[in-house]
Amino acid sequence: MLTGAGISAESGIPTFRDAQTGHWARFRPEDLASPPAYQRDPEMVWEWYAGRYRDVLAAQPNEGHRLLAELEAHKGAGFFLATQNVDGLHARAGSGTHGGTLVELHGNLLSARDEKTGEIFPLPAPEGLQTPPVSPNGNRMRPNIVWFGEYLPEAALNAAHQAFAGAEVALIIGTSGVVYPAAGLALEAMAEGATVIEINPDETELTPLLTFSLREKAGQGLRLLLE
Ligand code: APR
């Protein structure tokens, strides 16, 4: 499985590229989610991420997240979920705890990384969050997010390549399929002869390249497929 911001839309979390609600509609990505932006103004970048951190804690997993967690409980070790989302909602729905694997390809908003040691620590509750946060080692921490121009976590990406290359069926849910290497996973599965099904209310760049595309929202599409 590969999911994008669309699976969290029904939890009230704005997607990135939907013009009317998307995050980027108000900001230019390079002004916020990039190493130069952080070097230039760490407080401003942390202000933005602290706001998103509060938003995702206030959100709840939706039916799409829950159906994927249930599917994992049926499939066990054969179930692999790679998400581009950083909202932590798949983990809160229980994905990765029913015998399958969950990898967060772009990091998550709930933790931060010691800038000197690279160690990752969970963020304190929002009311106790100072920005920029300081690690237990006394070093400043940066958001544990993969920014534009940065590499994805190697172990997570390698596991995803392996899982998609060996998949019989892959679902591509709620992603515009424009950001690589994540979007490439769908094509790798296709190249190995898998059945790759997209669930998205809109057509995407991947649509013409996949086995077929369900023009549905994540929850409804998963319900139809899993019935
Ligand atoms: N159910 C399913 N899909 C939906 C829903 C829904 N309810 N609502 C919107 N979508 C679809 C949109 O049609 C769009 O194709 O979700 C997709 C969201 O696309 P993006 O906003 O581009 O988000 P995503 O594909 O996850 O972005 C990938 O880009 O900005 C970077 O790192 C960031 O992880 C992000 C990556």
Task: Give the pLDDT confidence of 34-64 residue by residue, as tens digits.
Answer: 899 999 999 989 998 999 999 999 999 999 9
The H or E element spanning position 162 is helix 154-165
Is 141 domain-assigned? no
By alpha-carbon position, which residue is closest to atom 21 of ligand 1?
16
**Per-residue pLDDT, 76:** 93
Q: How far is CA 46 from the centre of its chain?
A: 19
Rounded Cα distance, 188 and 208, in Å: 15
Extended strands (E) in the chain: 2-3, 80-83, 101-104, 107-114, 120-122, 141-145, 169-173, 195-199, 212-214
**Per-residue pLDDT, 29:** 66
Q: Which of 63, 199, 200, 224 to mutate to test the pocket of ligand 1 (most atoms within 8 A of CB)?
A: 200
Is 139 domain-assigned? no
pLDDT over 90 at 32, yes or no: no
Is 169 domain-assigned? yes
CA of 5 to the centre of ligand 1 (A): 4
CATH code, domain carrying 46: 3.40.50.1220
Rounded Cα distance, 214 and 210, in Å: 11
Q: Which domain holds residue 189?
A: 2-129+146-226
Instruction: Kindly state if the Cβ of 33 falls inside 6 Å of ligand 1.
Output: no
**Per-residue pLDDT, 48:** 87
pLDDT, averaged across the chain: 93
Q: Tens of pLDDT along 100-111?
A: 999 999 999 999
Query: Percent helix, strand, coil in the chain (nearest 5)?
Result: 40, 20, 45
Number of independent structural domains in the chain: 1
Is 7 domain-assigned? yes
The average pLDDT across 92-97 equals 98
Kindly report the pTM of this predicted structure: 0.94
Is 206 domain-assigned? yes
Is 43 domain-assigned? yes
Q: Tens of pLDDT along 130-170?
A: 999 999 999 999 999 999 889 999 999 999 999 999 999 99
* Percent of the chain clearing pLDDT 90 (strictly above): 86
Is 165 domain-assigned? yes
CA of 176 to the centre of ligand 1 (A): 5
Q: Tens of pLDDT along 182-204?
A: 999 999 999 999 999 999 999 99
> Which residues are identified as catalytic?
106
Is 140 domain-assigned? no
CA of 25 to the centre of ligand 1 (A): 13
Q: Which of 1, 2, 16, 152 to mutate to test the pocket of ligand 1 (most atoms within 8 A of CB)?
A: 16
CA of 9 to the centre of ligand 1 (A): 8
Rounded Cα distance, 173 and 194, in Å: 16
**Per-residue pLDDT, 86:** 97
By alpha-carbon position, which residue is closest to atom 16 of ligand 1?
6
